Amino acid sequence: MGRCPACGQGPLFEGFLKRRSTCEVCGYDLGAVETGDGAATFIMQIAGFLVGFSALAVEIAWSPPIWLHLIIWLPLVAVLAVALMRPGKGLMTALQMLRQRGADSHRET
């Protein structure tokens, strides 16, 4: 939903994919949470799997010309990747926060 994983109130993103440095509501340091390219990697695999196997099923069932495949599947994979990127980055941020909290609790004990 694009909210801070710590409090669930403040916005997580400034723009489309740029994360805020701190939460406006709870003040949590979102800049300390490093997700790297994890979200992009998973999104590419998910979109590639869905579109790849769909294209294969269409090819086996109807055998359309290659230009029709290009017109259908290339825009679909681009739209799917862009649509999944923001929720994926939010999920990776939340999972990284949970991982960091778990590591901090183990250090304290």
The sign of the dihedral angle between the CA atoms of 4, 25, 31, 85 is positive
Strand-pairing partners, residue 22, are 29
Q: Please state the domain extents for the chain.
A: 35-108
Within a 13 Å sphere around the CA of 69, how many CA atoms are in the beta-carbon half? 16
**What does R_g of the chain's alpha carbons equal in angstroms?**
19
Tell me: the pLDDT tens digits for 36-65?
A: 888 999 999 999 999 999 999 999 999 999
Would the pTM count as exceeding 0.85? no
